[in-house]
Amino acid sequence: MKNKCSSLGYVNRIQENILNIKKKELACLYEDLKAADCVICGGSGRSLYSLNAAMSQIALAQAGWRNKVVITPDDPGFPGRSMYDAAPDLERRYKKTLLLMNSGSGYSDDPLVMAQDLAKYIEETRSNHFSMGLLTSAASSPLAELTKRYGNVVQLKGRGKLKPSFEYSETGMMGDIFELGTLELLNSMIESIYRNLDVDEVFNLCVEEFEKIGDMIDCNVHSETYTRIVDLLEKRTNLFLGGRGTANEIAKMTGVRLFHIKSFLGDNVYITRGVNTPHPRAGDLEILLSYSGETRPVILWADVLKKFAGNVVAITGV
């Protein structure tokens, strides 16, 4: 079960961390996710984008999710300014609402406030229509301790205190071990629920996916195309990232990390069609994501940058 899936230890470590999750912990959260009519995503930064990317697959499913709704507090239709304000309306609409949170440290302010607000409502009303779930590396953190009172916590290791290895400088890989781990874990959980599988199959699906992921990574990180992209990223240019739906959540998750690097060089990173996105300039770089490669708005974005003499990189699944 724990065979290496890639030549990069970074990738193997993510797989190993998932396979080391306690099955009992995962089973409880798995059943809560299955039973929920409404799932509210909570987190901040990369952890939130990872969670959103995985949960967006529910909306894309063709069957099996008829009564399951996924929302975030930032959605226009969220029924309140806070979880406490929204809880009465959520209780009227849904039989079971799961506040699903993703926080490696367990100290992130946004999900902690959401959990505190929901806990306050549950204590005041004694409602049994809500539960909480948390993916974290810190099982003793304030957020984890609060979540345990009203739901289930799954501990998934991250990088911990380890510094990025030589792989960082050799391949450009970044240390988002927890965030990428939760993304793959949640994807496998959703796939298992969709296919009405037992929780054991979550781990088996993860192994199957990592075999594919490992091959793709090993093929690409040693390719000429990858080297050219890294060379472009090292140049003094603005960077734009974009996609639609799930791809856009991945773009935002990646953008957070790339901003740390590009801003050090004095450059900026933007999400395409974001509220603060400027017009591109000659030489700027745009990385666009589309599994089909045929998403019309994404193609139009590429055409626009080309007109400004920019460089466009497309990441597709076909």
- Tens of pLDDT, residue by residue, the chain (318 residues): 457 888 888 888 899 999 999 999 999 999 999 999 999 999 999 999 999 999 988 766 655 555 689 999 999 989 999 999 999 999 999 999 999 999 999 999 999 999 999 999 999 999 999 999 999 999 999 999 999 999 999 999 986 655 555 544 444 445 588 999 999 999 999 999 988 899 999 999 999 999 999 898 888 888 999 999 989 988 889 999 999 999 999 999 999 888 888 888 789 999 998 878 888 899 999 999 999 999 999 999 999 999 999 999 999 988
Rounded CA separation 189/6 (Å): 22
Q: CATH 3.40.50.10490: does it fit domain 224-316?
A: yes
Kindly tell me the sign of the dihedral angle through the C-alpha atoms of 133, 189, 53, 159.
positive
Rounded CA separation 152/101 (Å): 11
Token pair belonging to 276: 């603060």
Q: 273 and 267 in contact (C-beta within 8 Å)?
A: no
Q: Where in the chain is the domain with CATH 3.40.50.10490?
A: 9-216, 224-316
Q: Helices 246-265 and 45-60: crossing angle, nearest 10°? A: 160
CA 37 centroid distance within chain: 21
Rounded CA separation 60/70 (Å): 11
Would you call 242 helix, strand, or coil by DSSP?
strand
Task: Report pTM.
Answer: 0.89
Rounded CA separation 15/26 (Å): 15
Rounded CA separation 26/34 (Å): 12
- Please tell me the class of the 9-216 domain: alpha beta
- Tell me which H or E stretch contains 99: strand 97-102
